[in-house]
Amino acid sequence: MRNFLFLATLLAAFAIALPAQTKPSAKPPTVAEAQAFIDTANADLLKLTNEDQQAHWVEETYITDDTESLAAQADTRLLARTNELVIAARRFDGLQMPPSLAREFLLLKLNGSPTDPKLLEEMSLLGAQLDGMYGKGKYCPPGKPCVGVDTVQVTMQESRDPQELLDTWVGWHKIAVPMRAIYPRFMELQNEGAREFGYKDEGQLWRAGYDMTPQQFSEEVDRVYQQLQPFYKELHAYVRSRLIAKYGDVARRPDGMIPAHLLGNMWAQEWDNIADIVTPSDTQQPYDIGQLLVARHTDALGMVHYGENFYKSIGFPALPDTFWQRSQFTKPRDRDVVCHASAWDVDSDRDVRVKVCLFPNDTDFTTVHHELGHNYYQMAYRNQPFLFRNGANDGFHEAIGDSIALSITPTYLKQLGFINQMPPESADIPLLLRQAMKKVAFLPFGLLIDKWRWQVFDGTIKPADYNKSWWALREQYQGVAPPVDRTENDFDPGAKFHIADNVPYMRYFLARIYQFQFYRAMCRASGYTGPLYRCSVYGSKEAGDKLATMLAAGQSQPWQLTLKQMTGEDHLDASAMIEYFQPLTTWLHEQNVKNGVTPGWTVAADPLKAK
């Protein structure tokens, strides 16, 4: 989601307000003056953010040196005005204000960019260059046409040839090598801005936006991960054993880790694409959504209509006509684009769009439901003051569409006419297993991305150790290792979009937890009483009303209050996720015991070595 993934990173709560020449008054400020300041900030912010969004839309859907430059210029203008106003807002420090106004000032100050115009311009240009390097990245197989990340990822999903997987993995990771030369400077410039505005480093600023202290936030995510780590280790052990049964020595390692190229995803972040390998032959999944889509001749536009119809079924409006006219649904043949799926709010009102390169498969069907969740959230809070037009926190924004996608159950597919009858209860385990390989397998990856960056920001990880430290964290948290030796000539973090595009990643970890909390709350509102994992809220206006109320609040109050109004819980809570997967948890443990498989792995002494 562009407006809250990219802009919340560089611009956080971009406050644009009074003209630069305005001088602080010698008299103590009044609440009326503070309100006038914020009113002007909201109006100016709307204008400059729209210009920035338009520039970035063109830059990502038509990548050239010129569009990168125009996007960088738009960033520079926005960031420069933001800095002016964050500084000007200090005049109101200590003033007693109504709670809503005080919150707008709080969000306004969550910024940190260099105030020196030359440094600010340099940072914007480097950011645009990194984004463009990823978008233009190509893997060129010997004797074949070069391909972008969308095609590369299809190979990782579908190929069962370990050599092809290895070659593709190595080839794609090469696109990040040029980023290494400019990445340290980009991080340095962000730190300089954060320190100018009172933060120790940029990572601390990122952690400051959660209505708790940065330290409390770090402790909170670690606490929840510890709740779910035993389940992850059981899943890891089971998947590892099945991969060894499929690939033999290619998958077998003495340290118990899994080679990263065998998990059906370029970054080994989600494993559901290898469900055919992992699911026992006597309990195969009863259907494949991709095959069902192909059989129905569903194109990209048709997939998006399925997603829209879900939201309409629970009481949300149809998407605006401009959504269909301006979105990118497939990869153009005539130019480079960023195919990484994202949802856009171009005018902070109703000009919402998606930028995707869709294929008729299970992953992209889920992606459609996810991205539209962003768009409906964006439209729901459009009547809030501009500084409140955001998710309750960034994890909420990522969780909305995923909570809806949890309703892609057999019940939903039968309602759509995809299947004629409900699968028997014996099919529950393969369905849950596939879901766990998508949701649970992601958790350590979702955590380590920003743990790596936080340590880069605070200086714990030096540029000379970027790649070594990256793999040390991946081995520690994921139990996943590179399939070939890696050195500091490589820059494997940059092969992931969110590193190149500088998008904070902890939101995705949070979303994996929140979505189950939201889903359980909607299921309860719909009157559903069966096993949680079988629930679909498709067609439930009661569930839709509950969701719509939460979305309309935007960021107008602390997320803990918004969460409690939705779920009855005021903290990040793994109990809904644990409840959802409980039958699978028992089954995995039984399978591992029966097959003599021990969960866990040993971290290599030298993380640069694959073997």
Catalytic residue check, 397: no
* Chain centroid to CA 280: 31
Which of the following is catalytic: 498, 519, 533, 538? Answer: 498
Which of the following is catalytic: 15, 208, 341, 604? Answer: 341
Instruction: Please give the DSSP secondary-structure letter assigned to residue 11.
Output: T
Which of the following is catalytic: 56, 173, 369, 374? Answer: 374
Which of the following is catalytic: 508, 514, 533, 538? Answer: 508
Q: How many CB atoms lie within 10 A of CB 26?
A: 5
Which one, of 196, 120, 199, 172, lies nearest residue 454 by Cα?
199
Rounded CA-CA distance 279/532 in Å is 21
DSSP string, 114-175: -SSHHHHHHHHHHHHHHHHHHHT--B--TTS--B-HHHHHHHHHH---HHHHHHHHHHHHGG
Catalytic residue check, 369: no
Catalytic residue check, 508: yes
Which one, of 207, 293, 270, 603, lies nearest residue 438 by Cα?
270
- The answer to whether the beta carbons of residues 169 and 264 sit under 8 Å apart is no
And the tokens for 204? Answer: 């601390």
And the tokens for 142? Answer: 């010997």
Cα separation values, 413 from 423, 538, 593, Å: 11, 10, 34
The β-bridge relationship of strands 342-345 and 352-355 is antiparallel
Which of the following is catalytic: 370, 377, 576, 580? Answer: 370
Catalytic residue check, 498: yes
Which of the following is catalytic: 68, 192, 371, 475? Answer: 371
Cα separation values, 259 from 253, 328, 467, 481, 610, Å: 8, 34, 16, 5, 8
Catalytic residue check, 398: yes
- The answer to whether the beta carbons of residues 356 and 149 sit under 8 Å apart is no
Which of the following is catalytic: 236, 340, 369, 397? Answer: 340
Interior/surface letters 152-173, b for 16+ CB within 10 angstroms, e for the rest: bbbbbbeeeebeebbbbbbbbb
- The answer to whether the beta carbons of residues 588 and 234 sit under 8 Å apart is yes
Helices 442-457 & 428-439, crossing angle to 10 degrees?
Answer: 10
* H helices present in 314-393, as ranges: 321-326, 362-380
Contacts of 463 (CB under 8 A, 6+ apart): 183, 184
Instruction: Please give the DSSP secondary-structure letter assigned to residue 319.
Output: P
Cα separation values, 280 from 241, 441, 588, Å: 12, 18, 12
Strand partners, 328: 355
Which of the following is catalytic: 104, 308, 398, 475? Answer: 398
- The answer to whether the beta carbons of residues 313 and 538 sit under 8 Å apart is yes
Q: Which residues are catalytic?
A: 340-341, 370-371, 374, 398, 498, 508
